[in-house]
A and B are shown apart, each in its own frame.
Chain A
């Protein structure tokens, strides 16, 4: 027995030695900066998690998973601070130009449900505050159908479609959500369709159930109903993902979710769109089968509670301003006998039923909050925010205008209000976070007869946050193994966004830049740029002081 054991050990060592040796202390690896995280390796099918307890998620994130002390940097980034493409995120806007056509198309692979031959309800939810059902269209495709509340036509459905396209453009995986228009007469019930009765038991669905649903949703002038039709996602549902930790049975999931940059940065996108319901229950993981194995793909889902919509009602006043349980305001209000009051209770909103409660005047991006603490959001550092701001800046006024029009608002004044509000909120986010960090970006090495130069763009200047007075810099030779740096010459300063690169044979150069701007003292925070000199000069690393 012992002989066999030794043989196993020996064989293990052989396998291990045959693997490439880790390069000790090497800051930059040969393939840095990586553009793809290979997290779609075929793995065995995990156990479906099933549903997530909202109560437990709320309790754990409110009382247990709060960020304490210094927050570690995001872990799933490349050496440039970018998020590589993965089963979570695809760079659609950040690293490439997104066209308006791409933005409008969003995740849609087709034209939405076929309404020419009517729909057949195959299951429904008639109880509770959120009516909805699952249908099979004329082509046999299955969609989940959701409605607007009676008092707010177009509010939830239009916001869901708009936000789906925006989150998709940002880089997240989202379902195909289509606006569709249907009349009750065009709907039939599958004989097998079931609904849950008042006690939660299944029973066959009947016409009264459809009447009940249509009596509680907003009708258009022509008698049709605007709905959002959400196409079933490919793959086998494996339950929502948490915004903390890793999934125990998914070997591909190596980065704690709270340390994923795209989940930390999601905070800014959620703030922009007032997606206060950005929590685990509105996420989804799907097993994409590849033969007998496969991988998990991660989705953001359900954007009904975005913009001014609270999904089944107008968005609550607290949304975006205070967690469900937040001790400081609770104690203030309790101890002052209620004399201390929340500012958000008194914010005026314009009367647009199709928009709900959404405004920009009182929006303070750094104070925005989801329904309850999100572990990833809480750990967002300024470098995470900078990554998100760069994406946000790609959404031009024209893009915003175009994507809002996909909501097909009947009230053009409401539509224009939404466009302007989104523009203002975007600008507020950009201005706030670009003032928090040295905002230099788009580094590239240029060659000229006078020598190479490191050119860059000051996003802060570009966004009109402030004007840079000067860029102080110091070059270093950088040792990739010891990670020690050795100064080249003396610190210098330039006023333009281009720094001459010294002639030096070191394999790696590093330059530390700080920006002087009277209005933005935090631009002084240092920023290190690393250049690999061989075989040609290449930017391999950017490190920002958060």
Chain B
């Protein structure tokens, strides 16, 4: 590097050379550990040959000229920020307990930003309070409020008699801890573009309509997670819905194709009193990313029409899942069986807006959301899952199911089928996101979802 001096001979450079020489006094002639002369190869003696130590010291002098502190790239700075908890801080950003919330309210609602307010272990007791509100650009609105001893992480076992499942926390990703919970659960929804295709297995895709539902639920939830494997819960409360004209202009309003006969409850929506009891047995190894074990949930609900007795009914639900390793945890056969029976009492009917549906990202994946509904449902799903890497899972899936009016129609005939392939990205304890492509007689559907299929 010294040979470069004449080329870079600015005073600054030269001063740097001098400084580096001073910095490495051992490199000065005669001061190194070994600079003894040597006569090699029978050649006449030349200038004192440089020792190895001197050569290395000289290299260090050269580097001293070019020394520059390590600069983190923008990407590296951002990654460091994430690793040091910055991401978590953003996700936990709040103003006096007020958190931003980002979610989707319903299929087709679009992205719905909102706020959440939560306080834990307040007032010197095990009393929690949480509330959230969200609004989507398509006009979907939802407000939730829970107060009491709410299940925290690992204790989740709530019942949702109306909505997505009989025991809605089946997919809780952590093992459940023993504990009691008791809380009031209040909810208001305004969903202006819900789809309706008609009742029964013969409903037609062409009959897609939409409607507005505005409802409120006032429930009390009590449960006991006895141990990691067994939990029981009860939910009682009141429910009231109001139906209106759908705001999705692409499809007709429900009243243009259906009436109160073909869409029970369309003309009149009473107040309901409802009560539900449930039992959950769960021995999955990792609930959020199961590789072996299974779970079984039972629930029984009673809905009472408090004003007209037109819509009194009972509902029984069974949800079973089994995860079978096929000689290795790399290969799993995941099975699900779900069935639901609604039993109207004394000539009553089941309001269509309280009926469970098939189709969409979790049931018949080759069909559109809300595609099939009726008094009874049956659904089977089998997934062959294999993990090329710890964080990636591929799956071949087959779904079959049907909605049927009479319990006597229960059986494996006249099932709707869909099949497909999926890719999932996971942590050891949870499925973070999945992309499933399902195919059926009605075409192909693509689903991008957070969380597992089951």
Contact A253 B79 (CB under 8 A): no
B14: CB under 8 A from chain A? yes
B85: CB under 8 A from chain A? yes
Give 1 or 0 for each of A21-43: 1 = CB within 8 Å of chain B CB. 11100100111101011110111
Cα A342 to Cα B390 in complex, Å, equals 12
Cα A51 to Cα B85 in complex, Å, equals 13
B40: CB under 8 A from chain A? yes
Known: A15-B18, A251-B23, A337-B386. A30 touches B38 (CB 8 A): yes
Cβ–Cβ < 8 Å partners of B26 in chain A: 38, 41
A449: CB under 8 A from chain B? no
Give residues of chain A (318-368) contacting chain B, Cβ–Cβ below 8 Å: 318, 324-325, 329-331, 333-334, 337-339, 341-342, 345-346
Contact B55 A22 (CB under 8 A): yes
Contact A12 B6 (CB under 8 A): yes
Give 1 or 0 for each of B362-387: 1 = CB within 8 Å of chain A CB. 00000000000000000000001011
Cβ–Cβ < 8 Å partners of B412 in chain A: none
B407: CB under 8 A from chain A? no
Cα A481 to Cα B45 in complex, Å, equals 12
Q: Which of A29, A79, A342 has the most CB of B within 10 A?
A: A29
Give 1 or 0 for each of B58-75: 1 = CB within 8 Å of chain A CB. 111101101111101101
**Which chain A residue has the least Cβ–Cβ distance from B29?**
A20
Q: Which of A52-60, A167-175, A265-273, A405-413 contacts B (4 or more CB under 8 A)?
A: A52-60
How far, in Å, is A347 (CB) from chain B's closest CB?
12
Contact B389 A41 (CB under 8 A): no
Give 1 or 0 for each of B310-347: 1 = CB within 8 Å of chain A CB. 00000000000000000111110000000000000000
Cβ–Cβ < 8 Å partners of B57 in chain A: 38, 41
Cβ–Cβ < 8 Å partners of A481 in chain B: 40-41, 43
**Which chain A residue has the least Cβ–Cβ distance from B19?**
A44
B48: CB under 8 A from chain A? yes
A47: CB under 8 A from chain B? yes
B42: CB under 8 A from chain A? yes
Known: A43-B23, A56-B75. A29 touches B64 (CB 8 A): no
Cβ–Cβ < 8 Å partners of A342 in chain B: 330
Cβ–Cβ < 8 Å partners of A5 in chain B: 9-11
Cα A249 to Cα B71 in complex, Å, equals 10
Give residues of chain B (15-66) contacting chain A, Cβ–Cβ below 8 Å: 17-18, 20-21, 23-24, 26-29, 33-43, 46-61, 63-64, 66
Cβ–Cβ < 8 Å partners of A250 in chain B: 67
**Which chain B residue has the least Cβ–Cβ distance from A325?**
B389
Cα A46 to Cα B68 in complex, Å, equals 9
Cα A259 to Cα B330 in complex, Å, equals 38
A8: CB under 8 A from chain B? yes
Known: A38-B33, A39-B60, A200-B89. A249 touches B388 (CB 8 A): no
B212: CB under 8 A from chain A? no
A150: CB under 8 A from chain B? no
Give 1 or 0 for each of A106-127: 1 = CB within 8 Å of chain B CB. 0000000000000000000000
Within the complex, which residue of A19, A47, A507 is in contact with B70, where a contact is CB–CB below 8 Å?
Answer: A47
Contact A31 B59 (CB under 8 A): no
Known: A19-B29, A54-B83, A507-B42. A333 touches B388 (CB 8 A): yes
B394: CB under 8 A from chain A? yes
A482: CB under 8 A from chain B? yes
Contact A51 B84 (CB under 8 A): yes
Cα A194 to Cα B183 in complex, Å, equals 34
How far, in Å, is B1 (CB) from chain A's closest CB?
10
Q: How large is the interface on A (under 10, 10 to 19, 20 to 34, 35 or more residues)?
A: 35 or more
Contact B40 A507 (CB under 8 A): yes
Give residues of chain B (54-108) contacting chain A, Cβ–Cβ below 8 Å: 54-61, 63-64, 66-70, 72-73, 75-76, 79-80, 82-85, 88-89, 92
A13: CB under 8 A from chain B? yes
Cα A223 to Cα B385 in complex, Å, equals 45
Within the complex, which residue of B46, B61, B88 is in contact with A21, where a contact is CB–CB below 8 Å?
Answer: B46
Contact B388 A331 (CB under 8 A): yes
Interface size of B by Cβ–Cβ distance < 8 Å? 79
B162: CB under 8 A from chain A? no
How far, in Å, is B6 (CB) from chain A's closest CB?
6
Known: A38-B26, A38-B33, A251-B20. A20 touches B76 (CB 8 A): no
Contact B49 A20 (CB under 8 A): yes
B119: CB under 8 A from chain A? no
Give residues of chain A (461-494) contacting chain B, Cβ–Cβ below 8 Å: 479-482
Cβ–Cβ < 8 Å partners of B69 in chain A: 46-47, 248-249
Contact A30 B35 (CB under 8 A): yes
Cβ–Cβ < 8 Å partners of A95 in chain B: none
Within the complex, which residue of B50, B55, B328 is in contact with A346, where a contact is CB–CB below 8 Å?
Answer: B328
**Which chain B residue has the least Cβ–Cβ distance from A318?**
B390
Contact B49 A30 (CB under 8 A): yes
How far, in Å, is A180 (CB) from chain B's closest CB?
29
Cβ–Cβ < 8 Å partners of B327 in chain A: 341
Cα A21 to Cα B327 in complex, Å, equals 70
**Which chain B residue has the least Cβ–Cβ distance from A196?**
B85
Contact A12 B80 (CB under 8 A): no
B178: CB under 8 A from chain A? no
A4: CB under 8 A from chain B? yes
Within the complex, which residue of A16, A42, A346 is in contact with B5, where a contact is CB–CB below 8 Å?
Answer: A16
How far, in Å, is A46 (CB) from chain B's closest CB?
6
How far, in Å, is B62 (CB) from chain A's closest CB?
8
Within the complex, which residue of A13, A198, A337 is in contact with B92, where a contact is CB–CB below 8 Å?
Answer: A198
Cα A8 to Cα B17 in complex, Å, equals 11
Cβ–Cβ < 8 Å partners of A254 in chain B: 56, 59-60, 63
Cβ–Cβ < 8 Å partners of B226 in chain A: none
Within the complex, which residue of A29, A51, A251 is in contact with B49, where a contact is CB–CB below 8 Å?
Answer: A29
For the A-B complex with A56-B75, A198-B92, A341-B330 known, give 16 more contacts whose Cβ atoms are closer than 8 Å: A30-B38, A34-B34, A38-B33, A41-B23, A50-B80, A53-B76, A53-B79, A56-B76, A200-B85, A248-B67, A249-B70, A254-B59, A254-B60, A337-B396, A338-B328, A345-B329
Q: What would be 17 A-B contacts, judged by CB atoms less than 8 Å apart?
A: A15-B17, A20-B48, A21-B48, A22-B55, A30-B38, A38-B53, A47-B70, A53-B80, A55-B83, A196-B85, A247-B70, A248-B69, A324-B390, A337-B384, A339-B331, A342-B330, A481-B43
Q: B residues near A, CB below 8 A? A: 2-3, 5-6, 9-11, 14, 17-18, 20-21, 23-24, 26-29, 33-43, 46-61, 63-64, 66-70, 72-73, 75-76, 79-80, 82-85, 88-89, 92, 327-331, 384, 386-390, 392, 394, 396
Would you list the 7 A-B pairs with minimal beta carbon distance, nearest first?
Answer: A338-B386, A31-B34, A23-B49, A251-B64, A200-B85, A334-B388, A21-B47
